[in-house]
Amino acid sequence: MPAFLGITSFGGRDVNRDRIIVGAGTVVYDTVNLPPDSSSSTSAGGNGVSLRIPWYDDETSGTFSPSTGEYWFHGRIFTALNNTNNDTLRLGVARNGSEHVTVSAEDSTNKLVIRVAGSIRATAASAALSVGTWARVHCHVSGVTAGSVVSVYMDGDLSTPVVTYTLIGADATALSAAGLPNEFMVVGKSGDGTGRFDDLFALDPIDAQAPGIQFLVSADIAEQVVNGAGSFTDWLGSYADIDERPASSADKIVASAVGETSSFVKAPIGQDNVFAVKVMVNMSRTGTAAGANVIIGTKEGADTEGRTVPAPGSGDVQAIFQVAPDGTAWSPTKYDATEIAFTSET
């Protein structure tokens, strides 16, 4: 399994393009109310909105899960209310819709709450969500067996958790029945129409390519669209045809034969670090003259890395690149020099 299981900052600005399963409510995309220290240009939320965001593994048509019961998840939360609906808030992970571990808030106090398999298990002594302020939440789950510990950290302080909980036998049984998480679970507070979420990621720390969590204290997710031609230009059309958000099916590049490649560049990232790169593409396939698959790739000079995924008749595909095309860790310099490439494949 990969180091980064899921990465989401709602940059597709459409529930289909962001591959969100909406269980309730209407998603509001917001380009104004953003975390003050984030590179994200989009947040999302809404009154009582309920979202599942699977960690798609399009190469296998499955989903990613942590290699063991240990994992981290992170997210940003904005709430405008402190009321008796605080307990309807959820930020965490699930398994095919079954709540795994989530962070919520206590009614009337906004103190952070740990929920396990749908049950409230621990409440912070004092740490609470502040009304009208973005909060950063890291959660570490050390395992899914009895005695494993869930620890929640707030606002980048990873030395002292604000609330912890040790799993008991009933928790282990419930989590085992559900299986390891394979998606984000996000629920907006009931009655809070301006509640927002942003900068979600889930990390498998066991993976050899995983950065230490200390490097992700102030992590965010920068959204970019391509803005120039790369080394290959086989597909009909140009970067100007695929730079909209949300993506438009009427504006596209087209491959007509197997083995055609087009690549594209982006603006400089302008960040201190880059740890993973996620590529999201909306695609339509009208036949098999160009093959039934597409290779989503990254290219830096002579170095390339690709993911072969089935090309949908109409839908979305994605790939997370854990390392740079040369097989080493990403850096801003490597990212800036990397082209995003697409190749039609049999």
Helix, strand and coil content of the chain, in percent to the nearest 5, comes to: 5, 40, 50
Per-residue pLDDT of the chain (346 residues; tens, 9 = 90+): 799 999 999 999 999 999 999 999 999 999 999 999 899 999 999 999 999 999 999 999 999 999 999 999 999 999 999 999 999 999 999 999 999 999 999 999 999 999 999 999 999 999 999 999 999 999 999 999 999 999 999 999 999 999 999 999 999 999 999 999 999 999 999 999 999 999 999 999 999 999 999 999 999 999 999 999 999 999 999 999 999 999 988 899 999 999 999 999 999 999 999 999 999 999 999 999 999 999 999 999 999 999 999 999 999 999 999 999 999 999 999 999 999 999 999 9
Question: What are 63's two structure tokens?
Answer: 């989903």
The DSSP call for residue 79 is: -
The edge-to-edge listing of strands for the beta sheet with 261-265 is 228-233, 261-265, 339-345, 293-300, 303-310
Residue pair 215/273 in contact (Cβ under 8 Å)? The answer is yes
Cα distance between residue 305 and residue 324, in whole Å: 8
Give the contacts of 91 (CB within 8 A, at least 6 positions apart): 75, 77, 102, 103, 104, 137, 185, 186, 187, 197
pLDDT for the residue 250:
87
Instruction: Determine the distance from the C-alpha atom of residue 65 to the mean position of all C-alpha atoms in its chain, rounded to a whole number.
Output: 13
Cα distance between residue 267 and residue 122, in whole Å: 44
pLDDT for the residue 269:
96
Secondary structure E strands in 70-133:
71-78, 90-95, 98-105, 111-116, 119-128
The angle subtended at Cα 99 by Cα 172 and Cα 90, nearest 5°, is: 125
Closest C-alpha among 73, 71, 69 to residue 171: 69
